[in-house]
Structure 1
Amino acid sequence: MNAKNCCVLIPSLSPDERLPQYVSQLLEGGFGGVVVVDDGSAREYQEFFDRIQTWDKCHVLHHEVNRGKGAALKTGYAYIEKNTEFDGVITADSDGQHTVKDTLNLASLLDEKEQCLLLGSRDFSRNSVQVPPKSRLGNRITSVVFQLFYGPRLPDTQTGLRAFVRGLLPFMQEIGGDRFEYEMNVLIRCAVVKLPMKPIAIDTVYHDENKGTHFHPIRDSWRIYKLLLGGFFKFMSASVMATVVDFALFTLLNAWVLPMFMQPVYLNVLGSDLRVVAATLGARAVSAVLNFKLNENFVFNLKKCRGAAGRYIILCVLVALVSGLTVGALSALLPTVSSTLIKIPVDVTLFLLNYRIQQDWVFKNRIQEEK
């Protein structure tokens, strides 16, 4: 995509001379427009915004108070969607970390016919002397956790240099989060709806070991990791809730309801009582439906997902079979070990796999289905 068809969006809080320098270089590079969002900067910083506002192809939006980077980005998205006709949108930071060369490269890689998110990816390897140790360690941990719970391998999860086509503007505005956690939420949502994310190598630039950043290490890291791990803990909560309902319904049916209507009937299969079997199946049917709806609406937060119910049933049957066969086989190999002890690590492993399988297959959903 030609740079003249792209708009660069820059959220900014308390900028310095690097902001107007960067905007000027972007215009010289051929970008069709630049939108800067002043996220509640104090009066002494207004001279930078006022200067930019006077330039052709530039527009400055203002928040009266600081609302956060996510809110600033969404303010810019709304303006670009309603007031411009640019085919591509590129977000960049105002602190000089993103070079015009890299910004132009992302623009050239955009294809208006392809819905994807391009991510400017810095070099966080040990060979990169530009990266402060804390930033390198933090990004590596976040990258590993993201891949573990969501699948895609993203070398740089904290990059602010991102590019996408105009058609994704409504999607980007619907994603929750107003501060630094918004950018992580975007990555999570893209992974959930299977929107391709493509890391693009960029220069690694840090000024004064990134001391000018507005990122709060404790507060903002907590928000980010709460998002990263939130889905899995929701999955655990839904499973616990379904288990409690299953146990409670089984007890109610077996001890109170069924005895009112039927006498014990023993089957020839292991001498099982028909009432126990009926109570088990009845409770499991209700708890399975509850677990499915919780996962669909609470855990994975999908509006609609075609075929999910059928895939969920198949997965439940397969997990039960794998659990039973594995525990049985290991019990035969380890006759001195209790089957209950063997079952614990087997089912914990299956639970972790279950989460990823439900995310990637049962509740698979593409962005086209969300519209």
Structure 2
Amino acid sequence: MSLDFRDTWLIIPCFNEGSVIGEVITNARATFPNIVAVNDGSADNSAAAIHAAGAHLVNHPVNLGQGAAIQTGVEYARAQPGAKIFVTFDADGQHQVKDVVAMVDRLRAEPVDIIVGTRFGRPRSEDDQVPLIKRIVLKTVVALSPRTRRLGLTDAHNGLRVFNRTVAEQLNLRMNGMSHASEFVRLMDDHSWRVSEQPVDILYTEYSMSKGQSLFNGVNILADGLLARRLP
């Protein structure tokens, strides 16, 4: 296992996550010293919490959406000396540092450009945390996207991704909202990046469920899947 992660940058898009973002950053910085959090026009104390936790802070004056925040964060990180590995990491506490460590180690050791987390890489068990409606929605999105299936991805809306300098330099997300996930898949296909998946654990807390598991969110994801079918 790698012990030195100074060449690795975590990119955290953040919108109104002031109650949890400080703890998320503190936990991650115990392993990964380089973190840039993009405060995407938050109306709460997110910026102050990010600064207090010791991450690099970039502010969007208005909310531009997760895709724009990720693009801003990647551009900031790739401009830093020695940056070689890049990680997109959620601000709400769902992603696990242990999974990032495993994915970074794989990226160093294997002939791949990008590794995407998947909630569906292990046999289902009784303690499976993925809510049923969420599972149905995510699998429907995959079924609607020929590109996703061609790349062998099973969880196109997993925000945990680890990628190398080649991907970071070529990344140019122009879709700012939920649809950035489909654009990420399109870029993987268009640039012929070498893609792999990694089974990961998603921590569904009461907080994250209230932020991201609503019916409206599911409708947005399904709409994104329909959009993916229209992307060339």
Is this a same-fold pair by TM over 0.5?
A: yes
Larger % of strand: which?
Answer: 2
Provide structure 1 residue ranges, at least 5 long, that are not aligned to the other structure. 232-298, 300-371
What CA distance in whole angstroms lies between the structure 2 residues aligned with 1:13 and 1:87?
Answer: 26
The residue number in structure 2 matching 1:9 is 11
In the TM superposition, 1:83-122 aligns within 5 A as 83-111=80-108, 114-122=111-119
Provide structure 2 residue ranges, at least 5 long, that are not aligned to the other structure. none
What CA distance in whole angstroms lies between the structure 1 residues aligned with 2:195 and 2:209?
Answer: 26
Instruction: Flag the 1:138–1:200 CA change in 2: closer, same or farther, 3 A.
Output: same
Deviates more, 1:119-128 or 1:79-88: 119-128
Q: Decide which of 180, 185, 188 is 2:186's aligned counterpart.
A: 188
Deviates more, 1:74-83 or 1:208-217: 208-217
Instruction: Flag the 1:147–1:178 CA change in 2: closer, same or farther, 3 A.
Output: same
What CA distance in whole angstroms lies between the structure 1 residues aligned with 2:79 and 2:47?
Answer: 25
The residue number in structure 2 matching 1:217 is 217
Which deviations, in whole Å up to 9, do the C-alpha atoms of 1:186-218 show, x marking residues without a partner? Answer: 112212332222110111321127221298436
The residue number in structure 1 matching 2:35 is 34
SS of residue paired to 2:212? coil
Which one has more relative contact order, counting CA pairs under 8 Å at least 6 apart?
Answer: 2
Instruction: Flag the 1:149–1:39 CA change in 2: closer, same or farther, 3 A.
Output: closer
What is the RMSD computed on CA atoms of the aligned residues?
Answer: 2.6
CA deviation after TM superposition for structure 1 residue 68, in Å: 0.2
Identity %: 21
What CA distance in whole angstroms lies between the structure 2 residues aligned with 1:224 and 1:118?
Answer: 21
The residue number in structure 1 matching 2:200 is 202
TM-score by length of 1: 0.55
Amino acid at match of 2:175: G
Greater Rg over alpha carbons, structure = 1
What CA distance in whole angstroms lies between the structure 2 residues aligned with 1:175 and 1:50?
Answer: 26
Instruction: Flag the 1:17–1:115 CA change in 2: closer, same or farther, 3 A.
Output: same
SS of residue paired to 1:74? helix
Which deviations, in whole Å up to 9, do the C-alpha atoms of 1:263-292 show, x marking residues without a partner? Answer: xxxxxxxxxxxxxxxxxxxxxxxxxxxxxx
Which deviations, in whole Å up to 9, do the C-alpha atoms of 1:145-174 show, x marking residues without a partner? Answer: 2247751221211111101112221211x2
Larger % of helix: which?
Answer: 1
What CA distance in whole angstroms lies between the structure 2 residues aligned with 1:153 and 1:142?
Answer: 13
In the TM superposition, 1:169-180 aligns within 5 A as 169-172=168-171, 174-180=172-178
In the TM superposition, 1:1-371 aligns within 5 A as 2-29=4-31, 31-52=32-53, 55=54, 58-111=55-108, 114-123=111-120, 127=125, 129-147=128-146, 151-172=150-171, 174-208=172-206, 210-213=209-212, 216-217=216-217, 220-221=220-221, 223-231=223-231, 299=232
